[in-house]
A = this chain, B = another copy of it.
Amino acid sequence: MQAAIVVLVVEDDQLIQSLVEEALADGGFEVAIACTGEEAAELPNATSPKYRALVTDIDLGRGKMNGWALARHAREDTPDLPVVYMSGDSAEDWTSQGVPNSVMLAKPFAPAQLVTAVSQLLNSVTPPQS
């Protein structure tokens, strides 16, 4: 089990970035950080190993790709990718803008909620067929 489970975290607020990173690291996940949706959207092809779950803020900067668009983009690449959204203002838009089988964490949330959400989504992905 030397390989790690990489979770891609997309968040531009430094403080939340570190809280999220610490929570996931405590749960035994390896964290990759991106600050913008554009940066994140490039990652699947560039990184090795690929990330196994996406945790994204919704508002990623004015005029920039937001979390809703990023998740759709990532799911086009990996149809069963676990997706967790984090947001304060936009949580109420989840039922219209989110993807199926995702979790919306309304800020503020406790670190355990994030770890549980990521774990549960990963555990429910049917194992890949060779």
- Listed in ascending order, the chain A residues whose CB lies under 8 Å from chain B are 1-5, 15-16, 19, 23, 26-29, 71-73, 75-76, 79-80, 91-113, 115-120, 122-123, 126-130
**With known contacts A112-B115, A113-B123, A130–B92 Cβ distance under 8 A:** yes
Between A95, A100, A108, A129, the greatest number of chain B beta carbons within 10 A of the residue's beta carbon is seen for A95
Interchain CB contact under 8 A, A1 and B100: no
**Cβ-defined partner of A23 (8 Å) among B16, B23, B28:** B28
> How many chain copies does the complex carry?
6
**Cβ-defined partner of A127 (8 Å) among B4, B15, B106, B110:** B106
A3 to chain B: closest residue by CB: B108
**Cβ-defined partner of A110 (8 Å) among B5, B16, B93:** B5
Between A106, A108, A119, A128, the greatest number of chain B beta carbons within 10 A of the residue's beta carbon is seen for A119
**With known contacts A119-B117, A123-B116, A96–B72 Cβ distance under 8 A:** yes
Interchain CB contact under 8 A, B119 and A116: yes
